Amino acid sequence: MPPIPEDPLDVLARVVREHRTDLVGVARREGLRPEDALDCVHDAYCTFFELAVRRTLPSDRAEHAPFLTGIVVNTARNKRRRHHLARHHEAIDAVPRGSDLPSTETQLALAEDCVRLRACMSKLCETHRTVVMMRLLEERAGEDVATALGLTRGHIDVVLHRAKAALRVCMMEGDADVSEPPTRTSR
């Protein structure tokens, strides 16, 4: 005599009791927020129940957990993908009032300063440019820069001082030539 098939609601109730925490963890590991993970597991249970009603579930009970896990993973990935595609995008000019973001004029001024600094950096000689990059941008120690370039620490300090002075002049004057560092004036 063939075994009596289990009632689909009983199958679902057993799976829910045994695996609900693990399945929510699977959805969370797929990158969903807690409430989205619960929704995902609920959707997976609905799919699982529909398959149980149609009697298309694996016949072995031990296969139910991995089967349901696969459903949760696919559902979570679909939710994450759809959420990303459906995310509301604000217009570029839609900056909330009273926000801490700098104004458009301030951002333009900063961008112009970056362009000016890049132009000034390109006018420096190779040694000055390398020292500025290593000391100021990479924040490397003076001894490390000296060793890397085969120069003394004192020489690195002098080069950095002169490069900074040349950059300062170039940034203030705009079109100043920085191929030669500024000379000292007597006081």
pLDDT in tens, 44-75: 889 888 988 888 888 888 888 898 999 999 98
CATH code of the domain in which 150 resides: 1.10.10.10
| pLDDT recorded at residue 128 | 94
The answer to whether position 187 is within a domain reads no
Same domain, 82 and 151: no
| pLDDT recorded at residue 127 | 93
Instruction: Report which of 144, 180, 145 is spatially closest to residue 162, judged by C-alpha positions.
Output: 180
For 63-120, write each residue's pLDDT tens digit. 888 989 999 999 888 887 776 555 565 565 655 555 566 778 888 888 888 899 889 9
Q: Find out whether 128 and 122 touch, Cβ atoms under 8 Å.
A: no
- φ, ψ at 41 (rounded to 5°): -65, -40
Angle at 140 between CA 135 and CA 144, to 5 degrees: 105
Write down the residue that tokens 């030539």 correspond to: 177
Number of domains comprising the chain: 2
Angle at 157 between CA 181 and CA 134, to 5 degrees: 90
The answer to whether position 185 is within a domain reads no
Same domain, 14 and 63: yes
Q: How confident is the model at residue 126 (pLDDT cuts 50, 70, 90)?
A: very high
For residues 154 and 48, give the distance between their C-alpha atoms in angstroms, rounded to a whole number. Answer: 73
Same domain, 23 and 51: yes
The answer to whether position 92 is within a domain reads no
Tokens of residue 74, six digits: 């696919």
Question: Which residues constitute the domain of residue 111?
Answer: 104-173
For residues 107 and 43, give the distance between their C-alpha atoms in angstroms, rounded to a whole number. Answer: 46
The answer to whether position 18 is within a domain reads yes
Residue 143 has pLDDT above 60, yes or no: yes
- Computed over every residue of the chain, the mean pLDDT equals 82
- φ, ψ at 162 (rounded to 5°): -65, -40
Percent of the chain with pLDDT over 70: 80
Same domain, 80 and 13: yes
pTM tops 0.85: no
Q: Find out whether 159 and 128 touch, Cβ atoms under 8 Å.
A: yes
Tokens of residue 91, six digits: 């217009």
For residues 90 and 67, give the distance between their C-alpha atoms in angstroms, rounded to a whole number. Answer: 40
| pLDDT recorded at residue 153 | 93
Q: With DSSP H G I counted as helix, E B as strand and the rest as coil, what are the percentages for the chain, rounded to 5?
A: 70, 0, 30
